[in-house]
Amino acid sequence: MRRDKRVLIVGAGFAGAVHARELAEAGYLVDVVDQRDHIGGNAYDHVDRNGVRVHKYGPHLFHTSNAEVIEWLGRFSELIPYRHSVSARLPDSRLVPLPINRETLETLFDTRLSSEEEAKALLAAQADPVAEPRNADDYLRSRIGPRLTDLFFRPYTRKMWGLELEDMDPSVVKRIPLRLDYSRDYFPNDTFQVLPREGYTALFTAILDHPNISVTLNQSFDDSLRKDAGWCFNAMAIDAYFDCALGELPYRSIRFHHETRPQAEVTGTAVVNYTDTGPFTRETRWCLLPGHDSGAGTGGTTVTVEEPCSYQDNGYERYYPVKTADGRYQEIYRRYAAEAAKLERMTFIGRCGTYQYLDMHQVINQSLVQCRKWIASNS
């Protein structure tokens, strides 16, 4: 096949897999490489010794209002509905809904709120308005006041990001909803909330199952891999490609601690966030997600507790790009992007390639748009 009809894709996560499938269906021969020993990127899952499906890199819960993305995903897996809800464990061990809703407010302030207007008035009385919020602390104090900010967000932010709220960009916390009713829906504005029935690994297997796609695992990127390809879509960390010549782009990473607990003790919501000052941020009870407990295990069930850390302290596993209020890392990224634009026959894609915090549906949509545009311009 002609070189211009062969494409190299670095990374077998959502960005790489979507590009691979679209290109293969357009007649391109696609070589996918990934440095890990599995496909699926951070969405990879597997069934453990307890017969429980575990997401190796933390819970991945698909939610979107983009019907085109859902239709595309539905080609490769049956999608089952799941409305996500989360509890927060208070320092006194009580559990309350998170994001904050009317029940949360009633519990914390020991009151009864008969309407959304009363809930709004309570929050207004707590708020410490800032005309133009410069950081996450300003934004939260303006919206929910210092007491709720210090309880739900300050310790969590220190653990999760290794930063103070004053150092964080407001966009990091703006994505968390606030409810004035009793709804516990974590993604209230998303029409579609689903999980792939057989898990994400099976979903990726189906996406990459095409005669024009080959997959090589345990293969780190090297420029020599490009010699036979007309183009490369690269999902590796953009700073790593340039040997961090312009500075490192930091990420937060997670250490996952898997525990076996008696099934009878695991009830409530699938995810519980911790509000204390200890090192852990949340736990996931996998058996409470639909399709995640086969019932063929040991009698115990798996719970995963998360401990955030620097990516440098976790084998350079990059999970969450760090977005600060002063934008210093975004400026470094822009300099890398300018250098990347000078490269021939290469486009950086995905979370690490574009240094963005992206939900799964955003990666899929971004990849579909970008790949189809590229195919149209190269046909």
User: Is 107 within the bounds of a domain?
Assistant: yes
Determine the structural domain holding residue 358 and report its residue range: 1-39+208-247+326-379
In-domain check, residue 187: no
Average pLDDT over residues 241-262: 96
Can you give the pLDDT at residue 224? Answer: 94
The pLDDT of residue 55 is 97
**The tokens 């076996």 sit on which residue?**
260
Q: Quickly list DSSP for 311-333.
A: GGGTTT---EE--BTT-HHHHHH
- Is 362 found in the same domain as 223? yes
Same domain as 11, residue 108: no
**CATH code, domain with 237:** 3.40.50.720
Residue at a domain's end among 155, 174, 193: 174
The domain tally of the chain equals: 2
Q: Say what the pLDDT of residue 78 is.
A: 98
Q: What does the CA dihedral 112, 118, 123, 126 come to, rounded to 10 degrees?
A: -80
| Same domain membership, residue 96 and residue 21 | no
The pLDDT of residue 2 is above 80: no
Any domain includes 74: no
Do 109 and 166 lie in a common domain?
A: yes
Rounded to whole angstroms, the Cα distance separating 335 from 19 reads 25
In a domain, 305, yes or no: no
Q: For position 126, which CATH number holds?
A: 1.10.3110
> Is 94 found in the same domain as 35?
no
DSSP 70: H
Measured CA angle at 72 (ends 66, 73), to 5 deg: 90
pLDDT digits (tens, 9 = 90+) for 78-96: 999 999 999 999 999 999 9
Same domain, 332 and 234: yes
Supply the pTM of this predicted model. Answer: 0.93
Residue 316 domain-assigned? no
Instruction: Write down the residue that tokens 């150092």 correspond to.
Output: 167
Instruction: Give the residue from 174, 194, 228 where a domain finishes.
Output: 174
Same structural domain, 109 and 160: yes
pLDDT in tens, 280-335: 999 999 999 999 986 665 678 999 999 999 999 999 999 999 999 999 999 999 99
Q: Residue 371 falls within a domain, yes or no? A: yes
What type of residue sits at position 259?
E
Q: Specify if 353 maps to a domain.
A: yes
Same domain for 95 and 164, yes or no, is: yes
Find, among 89, 103, 100, 107, the residue nearest to 271 by Cα. 89
Where a domain ends, among 128, 150, 174?
174
Work out the percent of the chain whose per-residue pLDDT is above 70: 98
pLDDT at 265: 84
Task: Identify the residue with better confidence: 177 or 74.
Answer: 74
Are residue 228 and residue 117 in the same domain, yes or no? no
State the chain's mean pLDDT as an integer: 95
**pLDDT on residue 266:** 87
pLDDT of 177 > 90? The answer is: no
Give the number of other Cβ atoms within 10 Å of residue 262's Cβ.
Answer: 9
Helical residues (DSSP H) of 44-153, grouped into ranges: 67-74, 102-109, 116-126, 136-148
The tokens for 63 are 């939610």
Is the same domain home to 32 and 159?
A: no
Interior angle at CA 151, CA 148 and CA 155, nearest 5: 135
Judgement on whether residues 240 and 358 belong to the same structural domain of the protein: yes
What are the pLDDT digits (tens) for 3-54?
579 999 999 999 999 999 999 999 999 999 999 999 999 999 999 999 999 9
Provide the b/e sequence for 102-116 (b: ≥16 CB within 10 Å): bbbbbebeeeebeee
In a domain, 260, yes or no: no
Considering the domain architecture, whether residues 241 and 331 belong to the same structural domain is answered as yes
**Do 29 and 7 touch, CB atoms closer than 8 A?**
yes
DSSP E strand stretches across 3-69: 6-10, 29-33, 45-47, 53-55, 62-64
DSSP secondary structure letter of residue 208: T
Q: What is the pLDDT of residues 118-163, one digit of tens each?
A: 999 999 999 999 989 999 999 999 999 999 999 999 999 999 999 9
